[in-house]
Structure 1
Amino acid sequence: MHKIMWNFRQALTITLLCFNVLTSAQSNDKPNIVIILADDLGVDDVSFRGANQFLTPNIDALAYSGVILKNLYTAPMCTPSRSALLTGKYPIHTGMQHYVIPNYQPWGLPLNETTIAQVFKEHGYYTSIIGKWHQGFSRKAYTPTKRGFDQHFGYLGAYVDYYNQTLDATAQNLSLGHDFRDNLAVSREHVGTYVTDLLTDAATELISKHDATEKPLFLFLSELAPHAGNDDTPLQAPPEEVEKFAYIKDVNRRTYAAMVSKLDQSVGAVIDALANKGILNNTILLFLSDNGGPTAGLHATTASNYPFRGQKNSPWEGGIRSSGVIWSPLLENLGTVWKQQIYIGDLLPTLAAAANIQLDTQQMNLDGLNLWSALKYGYDAVEREIVHNIDDIFQYVSYGKGKWKFINGTTDDGIYDGWLSVRQNDNSAELDPRAANYKESIMNTTVWQHLTAINAKAALSGSANITKLRQDAAINCMLGNVTQHTACEPLVGPCLFDIDVDPCEHNNLYESMSDGTVVQELLKRVAYFRESAHAPNNKPLDPKCDPRLYDGEWTWWEDVQDGVDDDHNADGGDSAMNLRLNGLLLTLSFGTLFVINLLKYSCRL
C-alpha cells in the first residue's frame, strides 16, 4: 500500500511540476505588444518631423519619449505593406507585390504563409486585430481569425466610408456594399459612428478587459485614418474637429488635418488605456504608417511627403518612407533618433526577439532581419538590403543596399514622380496656433506624462532635447553645395542615388558610376531577387462578389458560391473543432477531479 501511495505521490509531484512549468510559461514575463498602423499617412503629416500646419501632440510625445525610426521603409501600397508586416517577407516572395487587393478580386495572402499573429499566438499571446485587414476575403480561410488572430473587429477590404462602413464598387458595375465584422459575424450596430472613434473604443475596451497576467496581449490597431473613403466624399471628419483647423484655407487639407487629429487622439486614448490598466510598463508600443500618402491622383487626400519625391504607389522615397516610432522600457536609448535603415518586414523577427521567441528564420524563409539588439542598444551599423519592389506588371524596380538606391521604371507613366508636397513657412497664417508653444503642447499631453513617469531619465533628457530631436527627425536633402544635378528619368534609363546625401532623389549618379563595381553588384542582386520572385497572385474581377447577392454585404463569396458557407452560419465550419475542444475540456475536468481527490487522500495519510 505504501509503495502504491509513493508511486501516486511521485506521479502527483510530476503532474504538479508540469503544471507549474505550464503556468509559468503563460505568465506575463513577456511584454505586451501594441502596433498602431496608420493608413496612407504622409511622411510629413506628423509634426515631430518639423511641420507646423497642424500638430500631432500625442504621436509627438510618443516619439520624443521613445525612439524615432528615421529611416523606416515600407512597401509602396497597403496590401503589400501589410503582407510584409504579417509575414516578415518581401511581397515579391509571397506574390503580393503588384498593386492591392480590390474587394472584387478573388485572392489573398497565400494560406501556406505563417503570420505574425500565428507566431505570437503559438507562444501564449492573445492576438487581436482591430480595423483594416486587406489581405483577402473571397474565402473565409483568408480572413483574420483564420490567420492567427483570436479576435477581429473591423473591415475586411481596402477601405470603408467613415460613417456608413460601405465600399462603393458601382464604377465596376457592382453595387455598394457594407463591410464591417465582429469576428466573422456581420456588424451593423455601429453604423453612423465615426470609424476612428469606433476602432479606438474597441481597442481601449479590449485593453481594459484583457487579463495580461493570464496571456500577454498582441494588439494590432489597423486604423482607417487618414485613408480616403468613397469617391463621393473621400475626406470625412466630425464637423467640430474640422472647425479646429478653420485657419487652413484649402477645405480638403483642413478636413485631412481633422482626420489626422482624430488619429492622434486615438493614439493618446490607447496609451491612456494601457496606463490605466497598469500594463504600460510591460508594453512595446509601435506607431507607423503602411506607406507614404497620396498627395494627388487616386484616393488623393492632400497628404504631404515633404521633402521627398513621389507618393504612395511609386518607387520614390515619398512612397516607401514611414514616420515611425517605438517605445518600451526595454529600450536602453529612449529619447533618441535611430538612423538605422529598418524595413516593415523586420518587425516580425525583431518583435519576436523582444518577446524571447526563438524563430527558425531559415525554415520560415524570412527576408526580415532581427534588429532587436541594435534597436535596444541604439547602434546603427547594420547595412540593410531592401527590395522595395520588383513589379514586372507595372515594369519597375526599386531596390536599396546601404546608402545606394537603384530605380528603373516607374508607375502611372511618371506623372506623380515629382516633388509633390510643400511645407508652410514659419511665418504663414496657416500654422497651428499651438505651434507657438510647441514644447508645452507636447509636455501637457497625458502621453508624455504616462511615458516619462515610467522613465524619468527620458523625461529629463526629452524635455531638454525636444527641439534637437525634432531637428534630427527632419529630412535634410543636403545638396546645397552641389551646383549641377543629373536628372533621373526612370522611363528613359536607370537611376542611382546616394540616399545618405540625397534622400530627396535629385541627383542621378547612374551614368557616372555605371562601369563601377557598385552598379554591377546592385544589378546582380536585382537579377537574383527577380529569379526568386513569386508570380503575382492578382486575379481579375469576379462579378459573383457583388454585394447585392449577399444582403448588401461584402463577404467570402467563393465559399458561398461553392455551397460550403453562408452569412447565416458564419462559424459553422468550426463545429468539429468545437466538439474536439469540448471533449478535451471534459477529459481535463475528469483529470482535475482525479488530482483533487488524490490530494485529499494523500493529505489524510
Structure 2
Amino acid sequence: MEDLCCIRLGLAWLIWSIRRVCTLAVDSRPNIILIVADDLGWNDVSFHGSDQIPTPHIDRLAKQGVVLNNYYVTPICTPSRSSLLTGRYPVHLGTQHNVLYATEPWGLGLKEQLLPEYLNGLGYTSHMIGKWHLGFFDRKHLPTRRGFKSHFGYWTGHADYFDHTAQEWTEWGLDLRDDDELVRNLTGHYATDLFTDRAVTLIANHDKSQPLFLYLAHLAVHSANQYDPLQTTRRYYERFPHIRHPGRRLFAGMIAGLDESVERVYHALVRAGMDNNTMIIFTTDNGGPAAGFDDNYANNYPLRGVKDTLWEGGVRGTAFIWSKLLAKPRRQSTQLMHISDWVPTLLSAAGQKLNDKKLDGIDMWSSLSNGGPSPRKEVLLNIDHERGIYALRRGQYKLILGTTYNGDWDGWYPPEGETSRTRTEERATTICGPVPKVRATSCQPMRSACLFNVEKDPCEHTNLADDKPEVVQRLMNRLKAVNATVMPPRNVPADPQGSPRLYGYAWSPWKE
C-alpha cells in the first residue's frame, strides 16, 4: 500500500513537472505584434525630431524600447514586405524590380517559408490585419494560405480609407476582405480605426495558452485613390491648425490616427495581461513619398530623396522595438540592421535558431536586447538591372549607381507648412553637418558611382568617389559578387482577366 502511494505521488509529481515545463515553454515564447506603417517618412514621427506632427504614443513606446537609427528597408512596398516575411533580400525572391500591380498574375513564390509558418511550428497562433500586396491572382497566394489563421484587410497595394475600393490605372473595385469573404457593409468607417478595432478584439479574445503573432499592416499613411489621395477624419484633422499646407495637414491627421492605433493596441495588451511577455515591432515599409510624390506629403528631411529612390530618404526606415524582455531598453541604437533581419531575430527571441543558408537576414536579438555590436556588416539596398539602379552599404560607406525618375526626386525636401515647435525632450535627431555649395552636382549617379560616408554624412551631401577610388572599387566588387546570385524579377504583364469589372467590381482571384 505504501509503495502504491509512493508510485501515485511519483506519477503526480511527474505530470506536474511535465505541465510546468510545457507552461514555461509557452511562456518563454513572447507574443509578437508586428506593426507596419505604409510610406511613413523619417521626419513624420516626433521621436526623430519633428516638431510639426506630434506622435506621443509612438514616441512613448520608442523611448521605452530601442529606437533603430541605422535600420534599412527597401524603396517600395512589395519588395519590403516580401523581405520582411521571408528573411531574404528581394533580389533572391524576384521582387526587386517593382510593386505588384493588382491585375498581374504573380506573387511571392510559394516555395518560400513565411514568418507565420515558422512561428506556427513553435505553437503560435498567427493573425493578419491590413495590407497584403504579395499576390492574390489565385487562392494559393492568399495570406490565409500562407500561415495566417485569419486576415481582415485588403489584397492590393492601397485603398480608399472610407469606401475601401482600390483604383489602379483604369480599374476600380472593392478590396476589403474578412478572410476570403468580401465586406460590403463598412463603407464610411475609417480604415485605420477599423484595423485597430480588429486588432484590439483579437488581443482580447486570444487564448493565452498559445503565444500570439499579430501582423498589423496599416493602410496609413499611404495615399488612397488618385481622385482623393489624402484622407483623414475631422477629429484628427482639427488637431493641426498650425499646419498651413492643406496636403501636409491632411497627412498629419493620418499620422494622428496611426499614433492613436499604436496606443490602443498597447492598452489592449495591458488589459489582457499580455504586456509583460510581448514584443512590439514598429516599422515603415519604405521611405516617405515627400513633396507631392505619389500625391502624398510624407517627409524624410533632412535625409535625401523620397520613396522609390535608393537615397537614405527612400531606404533608411523609421522603426523601434518595445518589450519588457529587452535587457537594455531606453536607448537609441546605431546597430546596422535590415528589414530581412526580423525573421531570424524574432524566431531567436521565440527560442529557435535558424541555420538556413538561404536567408539573408541575420539574428539581431542578442544585439538588440543587450546593446552589443551588430553582427551585420553590409546591407544590399538593391540590384535592379531593368531600371539600372544599384546600391550597397558596407561599414560606414554607401555606394549608389543609377537613379530613378531621371533624378527628378534626388533632392532634399523640407516639410510643407509651419511647425509648432513645442517639443523639448531628447529625440533621435539626424546630424548632417554643413551643407556644401556643390551638394546637388557633386554626385551624378547616372554617369558614375557615388560614394558617401553615411555615418558622418547621413544626408548624402558630399560625394567621396574621387577621393576614395579604392573604396568605390571594393564596393563595386561586392555588388558584382552579389549580382551572381540575383534571381530574375517575377513581374509579369497585366492580365485582362484580373479586371474587377468581371467580378462585380471587386478585386478577386481569377486563376485556379
Q: TM-score over 0.5 for the alignment?
A: yes
Match of 2:446 among 482, 486, 491: 491
Q: Which amino acid aligns with 2:61?
A: L
Q: Would the aligned equivalents of 2:276 and 2:325 in 1 still touch at CA under 8 Å?
A: no
Structure 1 position 184 matched with structure 2 position 183 = no
Match of 1:431 among 396, 419, 429: 419
**Residue pairs, 1:375-524, within 5 angstroms:** 375-422=368-415, 430-432=418-420, 436=422, 438=423, 467-468=425-426, 470=427, 473-479=428-434, 487-514=442-469, 516=470, 518-524=471-477
Structure 1 position 274 matched with structure 2 position 273 = no
DSSP 3-state at the match of 1:523: helix
Q: Would the aligned equivalents of 1:26 and 1:215 in 2 still touch at CA under 8 Å?
A: no
Q: Would the aligned equivalents of 2:449 and 2:472 in 1 still touch at CA under 8 Å?
A: no
**Residue pairs, 1:249-288, within 5 angstroms:** 249-288=244-283
Structure 1 position 358 matched with structure 2 position 313 = no
Task: State the match for 1:49 in structure 2.
Answer: 48
Q: 1: CA distance between counterparts of 2:409 and 2:81?
A: 23
DSSP 3-state at the match of 1:103: coil
Superposed displacement of residue 152, structure 1: 0.7
Q: Would the aligned equivalents of 2:401 and 2:448 in 1 still touch at CA under 8 Å?
A: yes
DSSP 3-state at the match of 2:386: coil
Structure 1 position 551 matched with structure 2 position 504 = yes
Structure 1 position 33 matched with structure 2 position 29 = no
Describe the shift of the 1:147–1:22 C-alpha distance in structure 2 as closer, same or farther (beyond 3 A): farther
Higher helix share: 1
DSSP 3-state at the match of 1:168: strand
Task: State the match for 1:61 in structure 2.
Answer: 60
What TM-score comes out, normalization by structure 2 length?
Answer: 0.94
Match of 2:493 among 534, 537, 540: 540
More divergent stretch after superposition (375-384 vs 200-209): 375-384
Q: Which amino acid aligns with 2:479?
A: V
Q: Would the aligned equivalents of 2:269 and 2:275 in 1 still touch at CA under 8 Å?
A: yes
Q: Would the aligned equivalents of 2:104 and 2:493 in 1 still touch at CA under 8 Å?
A: yes
Q: 2: CA distance between counterparts of 1:300 and 1:288?
A: 22
Q: 2: CA distance between counterparts of 1:292 and 1:228?
A: 13
DSSP 3-state at the match of 1:27: helix
Task: State the match for 1:461 in structure 2.
Answer: none
1:95-116 deviation per Cα after TM superposition (whole angstroms, max 9, x unaligned): 0001100111111000000101
Q: Which amino acid aligns with 1:136?
A: G
1:165-211 deviation per Cα after TM superposition (whole angstroms, max 9, x unaligned): 10123x34x3x210111111212222220000000000000000101
More divergent stretch after superposition (377-386 vs 97-106): 377-386
Q: 2: CA distance between counterparts of 1:307 and 1:299?
A: 20
Task: State the match for 1:238 in structure 2.
Answer: 233
1:60-103 deviation per Cα after TM superposition (whole angstroms, max 9, x unaligned): 11111111111111010000000110000000000000110011
Q: Which amino acid aligns with 1:230?
A: N
Gaps of 5+ in 1: 425-429, 440-466, 560-605
Task: State the match for 2:200 in structure 1.
Answer: 204
Q: 2: CA distance between counterparts of 1:191 and 1:334?
A: 41
DSSP 3-state at the match of 1:287: strand
Superposed displacement of residue 421, structure 1: 2.6
Task: State the match for 1:427 in structure 2.
Answer: none
Task: State the match for 1:82 in structure 2.
Answer: 81
Superposed displacement of residue 431, structure 1: 3.0
1:536-574 deviation per Cα after TM superposition (whole angstroms, max 9, x unaligned): 000111110111111221011112xxxxxxxxxxxxxxx
DSSP 3-state at the match of 1:33: strand
Q: Would the aligned equivalents of 2:498 and 2:508 in 1 still touch at CA under 8 Å?
A: yes
Q: Which runs of 4+ in 1 moved over 3 A?
A: 15-26, 482-486
1:447-489 deviation per Cα after TM superposition (whole angstroms, max 9, x unaligned): xxxxxxxxxxxxxxxxxxxx33x1xx11111246x78757111
Q: Would the aligned equivalents of 1:26 and 1:124 in 2 still touch at CA under 8 Å?
A: no
More divergent stretch after superposition (76-85 vs 379-388): 379-388
More divergent stretch after superposition (117-126 vs 380-389): 380-389
Task: State the match for 2:210 in structure 1.
Answer: 215
Superposed displacement of residue 298, structure 1: 4.8
Task: State the match for 1:526 in structure 2.
Answer: 479
Q: 2: CA distance between counterparts of 1:552 and 1:423?
A: 37
Gaps of 5+ in 2: none
1:296-335 deviation per Cα after TM superposition (whole angstroms, max 9, x unaligned): 4552311110001111000100000111111111212211
Q: 1: CA distance between counterparts of 2:235 and 2:69?
A: 33
State the identity %.
Answer: 41
1:329-378 deviation per Cα after TM superposition (whole angstroms, max 9, x unaligned): 1212211101111100001101111111122222xx10011011111111
What TM-score comes out, normalization by structure 1 length?
Answer: 0.80
Describe the shift of the 1:140–1:22 C-alpha distance in structure 2 as closer, same or farther (beyond 3 A): farther
Q: Would the aligned equivalents of 1:51 and 1:423 in 2 still touch at CA under 8 Å?
A: no
Superposed displacement of residue 22, structure 1: 9.2
DSSP 3-state at the match of 2:382: strand
Larger Rg: 1
Superposed displacement of residue 19, structure 1: 7.6
DSSP 3-state at the match of 1:315: coil
Q: 1: CA distance between counterparts of 2:318 and 2:387?
A: 26
Q: 1: CA distance between counterparts of 2:18 and 2:373?
A: 43
1:255-276 deviation per Cα after TM superposition (whole angstroms, max 9, x unaligned): 0000000000000000010011
1:145-170 deviation per Cα after TM superposition (whole angstroms, max 9, x unaligned): 1111111110011011001110123x
